[in-house]
Structure 1
């Protein structure tokens, strides 16, 4: 059994879902009596959510072609002006090797910083819009997780996945966080639902390309007492068409 002194050190492990069932139960009992740990968990959970939502901006294939064309027309090194060796013999092999290394370095840099360069490209408007949308969702989720009245409930899902629902009564909003979920079948998507006392109400779609997800559920909590997840056709369904892969009651 974990002693009380040790429980204060488990905030990070709890926020990243790294505790076993026994430790989790002990810690959840502890944070109900320790406001400092409860606040730290909210802050760490918000940070973890930001990391989970981070989306890399992939440069367009045309960017690589543009870099390669530019390399062919831009001098890699300035002409050497220092005196040559006696006898007028200039060793050219080292210069050619240096030029090849410079070219390789340029290509490596272009690849490593392609995601940054795309922001400066004149056709990167879609990428900027996507980044703004991600930033807005991240801030909304972080704000909900840090709410003073935020309550959480975690459950094990099939295949070793874990899901956590976070509810703020004051904000009338809920968030869903999941790790290790299997990718849905091709042409399918995970759809979230509010459980309004037996009637399921759509609460948005999960990104089909992610096995880890953290998002604010669409719509108000209202009278909902729990939530569920089903596999639906791409674009979602007006009501569930399959057996739930997850059902969680909202924390009291």
Structure 2
């Protein structure tokens, strides 16, 4: 699937109409495409609003009415049959009415729940898009800073990494390519080196071999950064030997 194809999937994604494989591919595409992230969020929000517009909350007395109707319909035993077609039709009508009321209750509840779920998905997509835009702006600010300094290094497995530091903005960006996928259930975690004490600087995306990451937190007096392999979700302190260490440029 090409990037051009992915740009055309915003509507299908917003309506949850994509197969799992295409949906996963599109979500990965969203992390790097601001336009698609924004459009998908807006379409999801619209779908959720439409769902909320047609949903309705059943009146509180409806449940009592349904239960009352159930008690007033006589149950037929195996040895007793209606005396005529009129009686049979009456029983069928009452039974159908009872099930119709129950079906209405179930449908209203399900529709309302679906609308709320769609609305939440839209809000989540909007939050992800907003965070992606904010991160992109912060990365661009560091890279374009007048005092930005860079240092490149060869990493294990043929990967290459470059750290960009702006002391004026007190932030750092790590750019890597050719990074091997971490073992299953593991993630690469970034660390600031504060005079030998490692301070967490965020996690890398384990599914991407090339990425640009804004280190979480300020540079302060850190002399460099490191990368370790940690359990999914990250660790408070490094639990493995570093796979890379880079000294910050001066």
Unmatched 5+ stretches in structure 1:
1-55, 66-113
Does 2:154 match 1:200?
A: no
Among candidates 212, 218, 225, match of residue 220 of structure 1:
218
TM-aligned CA distance change 1:64 to 1:168, over 3 Å: closer
Q: How far has the Cα of 1:117 moved from its partner?
A: 6.0
Q: Distance in 2 between matches of 1:202 and 1:158?
A: 21
Matched, 1:166 2:120: no
Contact 2:228 2:244 in 1 (8 A): yes
Distance in 1, Cα, partners of 2:175 & 2:207: 15
- Give the 3 Å change call, closer, same or farther, for CA 119–230 of structure 1 in structure 2: same
Is the aligned partner of 1:119 residue 2:53?
no
Gaps of 5+ in 2: 1-8, 20-35, 48-117
Q: Does 1:234 align with 2:232?
A: yes
For 1:83-98, list aligned pairs within 5 A. Answer: none
Q: 1:175 to 1:64 in 2, by over 3 A?
A: closer
Change in Cα spacing, 1:119 to 1:229, as seen in structure 2 (3 Å) is: same
Relative to its length, the structure with more helix (as a share) is 2
Matched residue of 1:131: which SS?
A: helix
May I ask how many residue pairs the two structures share in their alignment? 149
Equivalent position of 1:79 in the other structure:
none
Change (3 A) 1:225 1:64: closer
TM-score of the superposition, structure 2-length normalised? 0.55
Q: Of the two, which has the highest radius of gyration? A: 2
1:62 Cα deviation from its structure 2 partner:
3.1
The match for 1:138 is 136
Deviating more after overlay: 141-150 vs 170-179: 170-179
Structure 1 residue 200: Cα displacement:
0.8
What SS does structure 2 have at the residue aligned with 1:214?
Answer: strand
Deviations 1:16-70 (A, max 9, x none): xxxxxxxxxxxxxxxxxxxxxxxxxxxxxxxxxxxxxxxx9681673359xxxxx
CA distance in 1, matches of 2:15, 2:183: 28
The answer to whether the 8 A contact 1:165-1:176 is kept is yes
User: Does the 8 Å contact 1:59/1:118 carry over to 2?
Assistant: no
Let me know the Cα RMSD of the aligned residues. Answer: 2.3
Supply the distance in 2 between the matched residues of 1:161 and 1:117 (Cα, whole angstroms). 33
Divergent runs of 4+, >4 A: 114-118
